[in-house]
Amino acid sequence: MDPEKEKILIEDIIKKRRLSYSLELKDVDGNKYLVVNNFGSEINYVKKEGEGYFLEEEL
């Protein structure tokens, strides 16, 4: 993924999840995104069209 699209995606996740910490995109698999937060934790988000981003565990 190019850096500009990656930046837009990360900003979208932070905005829609109302996160107060930064994220770094590690892997993309369709509508699943593996990110690392600034605490070092890996988190899997799933994008559901029209609904936003959800933790894998929430689905």
**Digitized pLDDT (tens) for each residue of the chain, 59 residues in all:** 899 999 999 999 999 999 999 999 999 999 999 999 999 999 999 999 989 999 999 98
Going by C-alpha positions, the residue among 21, 14, 17, 15 that lies closest to residue 41 is 21
Side chain identity, residue 17: R
Report domain extents, the chain: 3-58
pLDDT value of residue 1: 84
**How many CB atoms neighbour CB 45 within 10 A?**
21
Q: Which residue has the tokens 């933790």?
A: 55
DSSP category for residue 56: G
pLDDT value of residue 31: 96
CA dist 57 and 38 (Å) reads 20
